[in-house]
Amino acid sequence: MRDLAPYAARSERTGGRRQREASPRNRSEYQRDRDRIIHSTAFRRLEYKTQVFVNHEGDLFRTRLTHSLEVAQIARSVARSLRLDEDLTEAIALAHDLGHTPFGHTGQDALNACMKPYGGFEHNLQSLRVVDLLEQRYAAFDGLNLTFETREGILKHCSLKNARLLGDVGERFLRRRQPVLEAQLANLADEIAYNNHDVDDGLRSGLLTLQQLADIRIFARHMKAVLKEHPRLAERRLIHETVRRIIDTLVTDLIQASARNIRTHAPGSVEEVRAAPPLIAFSRQIRDESLELKRFLHDHLYRHYRVVRMSAKARRIVTEIFQAFLSDTRLLPPEFQERAQKDAPRAIADYVAGMTDRYAILEHHRLFAIEQI
Ligand code: MG
């Protein structure tokens, strides 16, 4: 049996699935969740969804899929160190972006603007909707019928209004309680992954330069150390060696600072974890440095004019597709037409959110291009 800490989530004590199912024979409940996520359609779509760089801009940039795999890798490694359940944190990490629209954050903002009069659109809630409802693979139920802990972990944040509508997984927001440590961990692993891979992708694309990053404390410190040990290192290796050391520093700090928090609060059970403040956290110094890097990326990469141009195009595509369907739901594929009879805006949002980048571009052509393609 795995040596889990008393504060770890235990699959044999799961809050259960919405539809009753017999326990898995050869795996834990959380392993089953993880496996269902990997086999889902939404998971395969992540391969063709933008993280920051649109898929066709280059083969080496992160996609939502490779991003999710990096998050899972980091989360598992921290989980093992803290004796948490690796499978649960992996399941949450792999599922955390399933509800993302095409074209990254721009796509989500555009869809949210379209959905404003109809309850809004939020990728977190959509991830939950994918695993609870939209996946259609099983004979006995809609969605993937995941355990409570995985579903709760996927719902990283939500408004109080939505929390009231969501029932079980919304409860902790109303009661101001924390999710299990495996969920807290997946959240920070996400941050470690995107900060670092966005630096790497930003440099690869030429949108960021090493000179700019030399002003950012955590990057400058590690780059200097690498150059001291290897003065004539080729640039690609310098970048990778620096980034990997930053990841190692962040992961190590996360493990140590969280272990300290756990020692201080000494939770003896998941119940005590829920009642405590967030225990998975960076030290103050590393949190500040990580925040500095995050702000830098925000100002210099996500707002770079080449990214902004792509975003503007993406916004137009999402908005125009949405409006076209809303003005005439007969344009929707039959399956969504049927659902649109009950709630047209939500059915359209589900359809648009599920699209990959290139599918959205193609669908836009199909709806608006005059010439035959
Ligand atoms: Mg993410």
Q: What is the mean pLDDT of residues 9-31?
A: 96
Whether residue 1 is predicted with pLDDT greater than 60 in this model: the reply is no
Structure confidence at residue 185 (pLDDT)? 97
Q: Give me ligand 1 centre to Cα 269, in Å.
A: 28
Q: If pLDDT is split at 50, 70 and 90, which confidence band does 370 have?
A: confident
Residue whose structure tokens are 């005439």: 328
Q: Give me ligand 1 centre to Cα 135, in Å.
A: 20
Whether residue 371 is predicted with pLDDT greater than 90 in this model: the reply is no
Structure confidence at residue 52 (pLDDT)? 77
- Using CA atoms of 29, 171, 192, 123 in order, give the dihedral in degrees to the nearest 10: 90
Structure confidence at residue 189 (pLDDT)? 98
Percentage of the chain with pLDDT > 70?
98
Structure confidence at residue 348 (pLDDT)? 98
Q: Which amino acid is at 195?
A: N
Q: Give me ligand 1 centre to Cα 43, in Å.
A: 13
Q: Give me ligand 1 centre to Cα 280, in Å.
A: 17
Structure confidence at residue 45 (pLDDT)? 96
Q: Give me ligand 1 centre to Cα 56, in Å.
A: 20
Q: Give me ligand 1 centre to Cα 241, in Å.
A: 23
Q: Is pTM beyond 0.85 here?
A: yes
Give the separation between CA 148 and CA 39, rounded to whole angstroms. 19
Q: Please give the C-alpha separations between residue 258 and each of 81, 283, 291, in angstroms, as whole numbers.
A: 10, 8, 18
Q: What is the mean pLDDT of residues 332-339?
A: 92
Whether residue 134 is predicted with pLDDT greater than 90 in this model: the reply is yes
Q: If pLDDT is split at 50, 70 and 90, which confidence band does 350 have?
A: very high
Q: Give me ligand 1 centre to Cα 275, in Å.
A: 26
Q: Give me ligand 1 centre to Cα 229, in Å.
A: 33
Q: Give me ligand 1 centre to Cα 207, in Å.
A: 21
Q: Give me ligand 1 centre to Cα 262, in Å.
A: 25
Structure confidence at residue 188 (pLDDT)? 97
Q: If pLDDT is split at 50, 70 and 90, which confidence band does 344 have?
A: very high
Q: What does CATH list as the number for 28-307? A: 1.10.3210.10
269-303 residue pLDDT tens: 999 999 999 999 999 999 999 999 999 999 999 88
Give the separation between CA 193 and CA 254, rounded to whole angstroms. 13
Q: Which amino acid is at 256?
A: Q
Whether residue 44 is predicted with pLDDT greater than 80 in this model: the reply is yes
Q: Give me ligand 1 centre to Cα 47, in Å.
A: 13
Q: Give me ligand 1 centre to Cα 195, in Å.
A: 10
Structure confidence at residue 158 (pLDDT)? 87
Give pairs for 297-300: CB < 8 Å, separation 24+.
297/195, 297/198, 297/199, 297/202, 300/202, 300/207, 300/208, 300/212
Tokens describing residue 346: 């939500």
Structure confidence at residue 372 (pLDDT)? 63
Q: Give me ligand 1 centre to Cα 67, in Å.
A: 7
Q: Give me ligand 1 centre to Cα 352, in Å.
A: 19
Q: What is the mean pLDDT of residues 334-359?
A: 95
Q: Give me ligand 1 centre to Cα 99, in Å.
A: 10
Q: Please give the C-alpha separations between residue 270 and each of 14, 178, 240, 250, in angstroms, as whole numbers.
A: 10, 10, 38, 25
Q: If pLDDT is split at 50, 70 and 90, which confidence band does 306 have?
A: confident
Q: Give me ligand 1 centre to Cα 97, in Å.
A: 6
Q: Give me ligand 1 centre to Cα 331, in Å.
A: 32
Whether residue 153 is predicted with pLDDT greater than 70 in this model: the reply is yes
Q: If pLDDT is split at 50, 70 and 90, which confidence band does 100 have?
A: very high
Q: How many CB atoms lie within 10 A of CB 261?
A: 18
Structure confidence at residue 307 (pLDDT)? 86
User: How many alpha carbons fall within 13 Å on the CB side of residue 45?
Assistant: 25
Asked if residues 273 and 153 have their Cβ atoms less than 8 Å apart, the reply is: no
Phi, psi of 147 (to 5 degrees): -70, 160
- Supply the mean pLDDT for the chain: 94
Give the separation between CA 351 and CA 338, rounded to whole angstroms. 12
Q: Give me ligand 1 centre to Cα 311, in Å.
A: 18
Q: Give me ligand 1 centre to Cα 197, in Å.
A: 11
As a three-state string, the secondary structure of the chain is CCCCCCCCCCHHHCCCECCCCCCCCCCCHHHHHHHHHHCCHHHHHHHHCECCCCHHHCCCCCEHHHHHHHHHHHHHHHHHHCCCCHHHHHHHHHHCCCCCCCCHHHHHHHHHHHHHHHCCCCHHHHHHHHHHHHCCCCCCCCCCCCEHHHHHHHCCCCCHHHHHHHHHHHHHHHCCCCCCHHHHHHHHHHHHHHHHHHHHHHHHHCCCCHHHHCCCHHHHHHHHHHHHHCCCCCHHHHHHHHHHHHHHHHHHHHHHHHHHHHHHHCCCCHHHHHHCCCCCCCCHHHHHHHHHHHHHHHHHCCCCHHHHHHHHHHHHHHHHHHHHHHHCHHHCCHHHHHHHCCCHHHHHHHHHHHCCHHHHHHHHHHHHCCCCC
48-76 residue pLDDT tens: 998 777 666 777 788 999 999 999 999 99
Give the separation between CA 44 and CA 210, rounded to whole angstroms. 34
Q: Which amino acid is at 23?
A: S
Structure confidence at residue 278 (pLDDT)? 97
Whether residue 2 is predicted with pLDDT greater than 70 in this model: the reply is no
Q: Give me ligand 1 centre to Cα 34, in Å.
A: 16
Q: If pLDDT is split at 50, 70 and 90, which confidence band does 84 have?
A: very high
